[in-house]
Structure 1
Amino acid sequence: MPKLFVALSVLSCAFSVHAASVVHSLTEFDSLLTLNLEQLARIPVTTAARSPQAWKDVQGSLWVVTEQEIKQRGYRHLADLLRDLPSVDVQGPYSTSSRISIRGVTGNTKLLILQDGVRIGAPAGELVPISINYPLYMAKQVEVLLTPGSALYGADAVTGVVNIISKQAEQQHTQQLSYEGSETRYQHGHLLLTGRIGQSYPFMLGVHKEQFNNQHLAEQYPDVFNFNDLRDNQGQVIVPVQARQAFQSLATAESVWSTLKIHPTTELGLHYRVVRYPTDYTTLADFTDYGGFWEDRFLTAYGRYQQQLTPKLSTNTLVSWSNYRLDKDSYFNNIFSGYMNGYKYAESKKLSIDSQWRYAFATQHQLMAGLVFDHLRAVPRTTDLSQPYDPNLSVEQQHLYYLGTNNSLPVKIFQVTQDNLGVFLQDQYQWSPQLSSQAGIRFDDNSDYKASTSPYVGLKYIYSPKTILSLTYSQAYLAPSPSYSYEHFGSFTGQQDSQGRYLADTFRVPNPDLQPETAKALEFVINHELKPHWQLISTAYGSRLQNLILFASPTPSPVSEFINGGWIKNTDHNVNLGESVAYGVELSSRYRQQHYELWGHYSFTDGYLSTNKGEEELPYNAKHKLKLGATWRHKQGWFISPSLYFIGQSRVPSSASDGSRAVTVPSYQLFNMYAGYPQIVQGVDVFMRIENIASSKYYHAGGSSKRSLVQLPQLDRTITLGFELGF
């Protein structure tokens, strides 16, 4: 990383980087502190309507976190920010392989993540973490829409939309270099450069690297990570305890981000991210040999053209190409692979063209229409491989074989091609000074599954100058990922029947007939301003999701000859068989003065999950959550931001129960603190972070298998120190 920093610094000089004074930067930062809540409500946002509007005019629950709040609360990456929002549960080691639930609905793939309106997640809906792979060092603000957004964004906007709004090269006046580290081998660093190519083309370039280690968990929770012999399903010892891998849990992330303005109307951009994390953190110690990892790689390149064609008509066209790859050396090593390295591979590529047109009939009436085309090619996640996949060879040239077949039965590797055409329409109308509406609808036609329609309607009523009421209804859908539709895995016993066929007990087989999950949601919001510095927000909501893809079920009849030369006794596949209903309330308060701010959220979420196995409480959801925080800034510049969390009991799915253990996770309290001193000397900021000040033992909800940890242990007190240079 230091070599990369030096190289980029030299490169920035070649491009004539121009940095403004530190004094100017501080003045701009202080100007945010003087804004009261009424002035903040006029901050321009784009996520809720896909077009600029004032924050106060947004339909639905849109939370905006400004650059000032990101800095003063110490948000390093998206998981830091999300855990502070109402009705959001971040389970697992949130800085590595987190699981996100929003308003009782669980699933990382159900939350759409954008940066400046560009999708930066996995193009084929692969399941990936939302953690250290989404840094915020370049963010001007982050907009989080906690209502379904499929009417404007299509698939994968079921629980909401996150849009990281980047700083602009024309407005950024200083370069940044930061580093943060701790005694637990945590490290975080970023470099942000601004400059011009020649005199005409402003650009920004950022790099980031982060690593997080849960290594000390084995010492802090010896009962959880107690090592014994590793045995197979028949009780035979496969790996003696003395030959086992030591516990390890290191996660790393790297990223490069860049934008270039080649014309006031035209922008080019690039995102490259890599995240590597352990595959065995949620598995019981008696069923895994530690050391396995996943490494996800993402690349997105885009070009955007936007222009005001006439005083009333504007256009915005985005062309993007994205690629996801699961690194060929990724593997797990547990009872399901016979304690051998089970390698995996997946890849997807998507070309997307998104064009929208906005026409203003008058100040109070605006109409927007759009057309979207996506072309996707994917190799869904493979079965367990005995050796790494070779990306340089075609699928037909791999010469890979199923485990337990003495390298005689070739592995089936699927290839998927999908085309999707989407059309959307949105109308915004101001009926009177008090009443406004926003309605939209989107129609998608996909070559792999039936057409989907996603409507949305919202009403906003100004009851009084200090009280605003908002009611929204929306529908959304989640397209089945090729990894779910074509998922297959299993292993053969190594034995053959009288016909020479290799035998297997159970195999997961593909189900290309999976249909999209669907969602309906209703929300009512009361926004009340007690004083210009004090705001209360009350929200009631409900949602119903159907066609959920939750658990695999036996096939109508065993697909025994799914693999030529093999015989499988039992087969199952993924099916649409679940439904969830969630409802709740949120009570949020915010009090802001020039030198301090207080905020708090209480949320209650309840409901049920229903499958062919019965009805149960919503998993990965704490019914009661109270999140409190404050920031106090001294007139000399230093600040302190404590935060306090009271998180109620949560659960994992009942499938994790083996009849002898509970599936509940106890409630916990957590006290954190972040403090900093900007400009302790000219151009240098210093800061300190303390997580879990009381060093309490607490747990998050774990996996859904009978061989998974129900209660995931979390680290005790950790202290990190860091600095940021402005030059």
Structure 2
Amino acid sequence: MRRYHAALLASTLLPVAQGVAAGEPHEFRELLQLSLEELLEIPVMTASKRMEARTDTPAHLMVITAEQIRDRRYRNLADLLEDLPGVDFMRGTKSSAFNNFAFQGHVSNNKLLILLDGVRIDHPGGGKIPVADNLALYNAKQVEVLYGPAAALYGADAMAGVINIISQRPRDAERVHVSLTGGSDGYRNTEATASARLTERVALEVGAHEHRADRADLSADYADDFPRVDAVTFDGTVALPAALRESYTGEISSGSRFARLDVGDDLTLSYHRSDFRSLTSTGDRPDTARYLSSAYWDTTIDTLYARYRFELKPRLTGELTVDYSEYEVSPSSSYVNIFTGFEDHGHDYAFSRRRGFEQQLTWSADDTHTLVGGLAHHDYRSVEVPDLPTALDPDRSVASQDLTYVNTPLPIQTFQNDFTTTSLYAQLQSRWSATLSSMLGLRYDRNSDYRNTLNPRLGLVWKNTGNSYLKLLYGEAFRAPSSDEAFSTFGSFSGQRNAAGEYVGYFFRAPNAELEPEESRSLSLTWDWRPRRDLNLVVNTYYAEMEDIIVSRDEVVPTQYIPGARLFNTSIKDNMGSEKHYGLDLIVNARFQLSEAWRGDLWGSYSYTDGEVYDVEDGRRYDLPYIARDKIKLGTTFRYRNRYTVTPKLYWIGDTNTERKDPADPGTRIQADDWFRADLLLAAHDVGAKGITANLEVYNLFDRRYHVAAGSGSTTFVTMPQQPRTVMLTVQYDY
């Protein structure tokens, strides 16, 4: 069980805090009270890998500032994503990823890059990760959300877009931030960060957070979904009678560490760690899994990078980035479910590593033409193991641990995948007149595991009136198959043998080393209009086609990958079918003044998403999974003399397709019903002393009961019950 590391936090932050205390109090909130016009003119980095105005890029891009992050209580990236236009967000539905989401029709985080200051901090090998409380935003200056394909600059997996968390430069804002939160259902969160100049040229920021939540007892709030039933194995054996079944539990915990050291404007060294733990029974029905605190999925991602900036000539600059990242599933992770016979022998482990460099050059030929180009090389290693009878010791070789499949003497089959990537890219941006500019980009990616890819990106920006911009963008992108998809296997033996003496196994997942990348082509048109200084209206339309979709399928001829075994009813991941989706996001942002004392912000969106997936196995076309065709999100922050804020948020999400096909109506999917939720955030600033803020947050204000689209497997909930009302109180100090 995780504990709060108060001593570690204090020892890490105290030296920096002492440096800050030597200066004057930092009027942090007042510095961030910008007008809407000023907010819209904040320079962005993500769209072109160089600083530019949002209006200069043909891509649709949103910026969420530190002020908005605090006022809207975006503690982490999950909170922020749920508010974004075009995003379907489903909490607590997956056993290993926990949350699931779709981004303008693209399902899951493995089609969306998550960066910190331009460096990838999600799965280093491109697999799925939890996007939840682990990706905290206490260190964010702003978050840039780039919609649409960006493979021409970023390479693999930038199909749906890119999210770039821009951290505070330590030299820009010496500060101390400490926040303590407690709430219902055992919710507690601690975060702290501090930054200071150590010398005239050297500045440091460090931060950390720890979080834990027992979460509500869903069996009490949704009794019909959680009946107390026998745990029955595939062969009909009652492993545990209903009278002895455990009570429901759904606890989670997470943490992060962050450090950034700047030496002048030339050198940055940074470290980021995120970890998340959730129960592997998450999303599973009570007849197929045991709800045990000891059966959990625990992941950690560590990322380090060094970046050196230099100037070769007045108009030619360079940037060299060296990075290293590791992802690990803790060997203590395990499943106790119907696939393990409800016994504790479903232990798991996975490891992935990325290391390499990227050299980028930026040449401004004149004031109207800018060329960005680069070379990158990375090497990767991934280790995948199947369900294990006992926890693996990752410091020893698998062969030396004599691990065998349960109920057999057959040695465990593990997979190690080593590969490299080399990339070349260039992007030219040109301003042809005061009203017309263009962008042309191209990237070549060579992967030692699969075919090479070439991805173009073309765009136009037309300023048709003083404050109205039309943006047209075409791009191609690809998603690399992850080692998890290619080599992750699972299944268990009962001990049964056939006439040939082979151990018989059913319902195994087999490896497939022949996977190829998914590929997409996308077109978007964006109208960005600012009719007044305090009002911004955006219309973003998009269309995308995808081929070689990686899906699970049953094998006609089972892959026999375990010597001494005979497997039946196996499944694999394979490139099958195609997909297309299209949609529209209508977005409004406004700032208003109600009186001398009252002012506020309004933000909202209506999103329409539709499309279809072609299933090669049955030759039918299905609606997109995990997508609500219609979504409305609305929020407003009322401020009273910068001392008090009231922020209500409203969500209406229409009927949502699950991934489960409806057997009663061939060609359709089972749907989760539409739902409505309201959240309320109250804050009081300078409470008792300057810099102290108290926040009251009420999630699911009206305590509504609703379900979201969940799993597609035979053992999972098709629609997952969601959390009832949760109340949280936060006290924070900013200096």
- TM-score, structure 1 normalization: 0.95
Give the drift of 1:654.
2.9
**1:438-476 CA distances to partner (integer Å, 9 max, x unpaired)?**
111110010000001111011000011021100000111
**1:357-381 CA distances to partner (integer Å, 9 max, x unpaired)?**
000001110001100101001102x
Kept in 1: contact 2:660–2:711 (CA 8 A): no
Give the drift of 1:11.
4.9
Matched, 1:308 2:307: no
Aligned to 2:357: 353
**1:483-532 CA distances to partner (integer Å, 9 max, x unpaired)?**
11112222222012233221123432211110000111110011111211
RMSD of aligned residue pairs (Cα, Å) = 2.1
Matched, 1:679 2:686: yes
Amino acid at match of 1:123: P
Give the drift of 1:552.
2.1
Matched, 1:597 2:591: no
Aligned to 2:86: 87
Give the drift of 1:713.
0.7
Distance, in Å, in 1 between the alignment partners of 2:529 and 2:120 is 34
- What SS class does the counterpart of residue 575 from structure 1 fall into? strand
Distance, in Å, in 1 between the alignment partners of 2:681 and 2:352 is 39
Give the drift of 1:200.
4.3
Give the drift of 1:302.
0.9
Distance, in Å, in 1 between the alignment partners of 2:543 and 2:500 is 57
**1:245-302 CA distances to partner (integer Å, 9 max, x unpaired)?**
3211111001110011234311111111211011112111111111221000111111
Amino acid at match of 2:677: L
- What SS class does the counterpart of residue 575 from structure 2 fall into? coil
Kept in 2: contact 1:354–1:372 (CA 8 A): yes
Q: Out of 382, 391, 394, which is 1:391 matched to?
A: 394
- What SS class does the counterpart of residue 673 from structure 1 fall into? strand
Aligned to 2:652: 646
Matches within 5 A, 1:320-339: 320-339=323-342
Q: Out of 668, 673, 676, which is 2:675 matched to?
A: 668
Matched, 1:378 2:382: yes
Aligned to 1:164: 165
With over 3 angstroms needed to count, the CA separation of the structure-2 counterparts of 1:56 and 1:41, relative to structure 1, is farther
Amino acid at match of 2:76: H
Distance, in Å, in 1 between the alignment partners of 2:17 and 2:706 is 51
Aligned to 1:582: 581
Give the drift of 1:309.
2.5
Amino acid at match of 2:715: R
Distance, in Å, in 2 between the alignment partners of 1:674 and 1:419 is 47
- What SS class does the counterpart of residue 223 from structure 1 fall into? helix
- What SS class does the counterpart of residue 488 from structure 1 fall into? coil
**1:390-429 CA distances to partner (integer Å, 9 max, x unpaired)?**
1010233231111231xx1001111110110011010000
Distance, in Å, in 2 between the alignment partners of 1:217 and 1:7 is 34
Aligned to 1:58: 57
699-708 vs 209-218, greater mean Cα deviation? 209-218
Distance, in Å, in 2 between the alignment partners of 1:456 and 1:17 is 48
Aligned to 1:462: 463
Kept in 2: contact 1:249–1:278 (CA 8 A): yes
Amino acid at match of 1:72: D
Amino acid at match of 1:455: P
With over 3 angstroms needed to count, the CA separation of the structure-2 counterparts of 1:195 and 1:173, relative to structure 1, is closer
Distance, in Å, in 2 between the alignment partners of 1:278 and 1:657 is 30
5+ residue gaps, structure 2, are: 594-598
With over 3 angstroms needed to count, the CA separation of the structure-2 counterparts of 1:548 and 1:392, relative to structure 1, is same
Distance, in Å, in 2 between the alignment partners of 1:5 and 1:199 is 30
With over 3 angstroms needed to count, the CA separation of the structure-2 counterparts of 1:656 and 1:259, relative to structure 1, is farther
Aligned to 2:73: 74
Q: Out of 340, 343, 346, which is 2:343 matched to?
A: 340
Give the drift of 1:582.
0.6
Distance, in Å, in 1 between the alignment partners of 2:704 and 2:22 is 44
624-633 vs 300-309, greater mean Cα deviation? 300-309
Distance, in Å, in 1 between the alignment partners of 2:318 and 2:702 is 53
- What SS class does the counterpart of residue 363 from structure 2 fall into? strand
Give the drift of 1:148.
1.2
- What SS class does the counterpart of residue 548 from structure 2 fall into? strand
Amino acid at match of 1:607: G
Aligned to 1:268: 269
Matched, 1:298 2:306: no
Kept in 2: contact 1:475–1:520 (CA 8 A): yes
Distance, in Å, in 2 between the alignment partners of 1:433 and 1:209 is 50
Aligned to 1:32: 32
Kept in 2: contact 1:457–1:472 (CA 8 A): yes
- What SS class does the counterpart of residue 489 from structure 2 fall into? coil
Distance, in Å, in 2 between the alignment partners of 1:293 and 1:212 is 14
Matches within 5 A, 1:564-579: 564-579=563-578
- What SS class does the counterpart of residue 19 from structure 1 fall into? helix
Give the drift of 1:244.
2.4
Give the drift of 1:8.
4.3
Amino acid at match of 2:681: Y
Amino acid at match of 1:678: H
With over 3 angstroms needed to count, the CA separation of the structure-2 counterparts of 1:9 and 1:537, relative to structure 1, is same
With over 3 angstroms needed to count, the CA separation of the structure-2 counterparts of 1:13 and 1:519, relative to structure 1, is same
With over 3 angstroms needed to count, the CA separation of the structure-2 counterparts of 1:539 and 1:602, relative to structure 1, is same
- What SS class does the counterpart of residue 169 from structure 1 fall into? coil
- TM-score, structure 2 normalization: 0.94
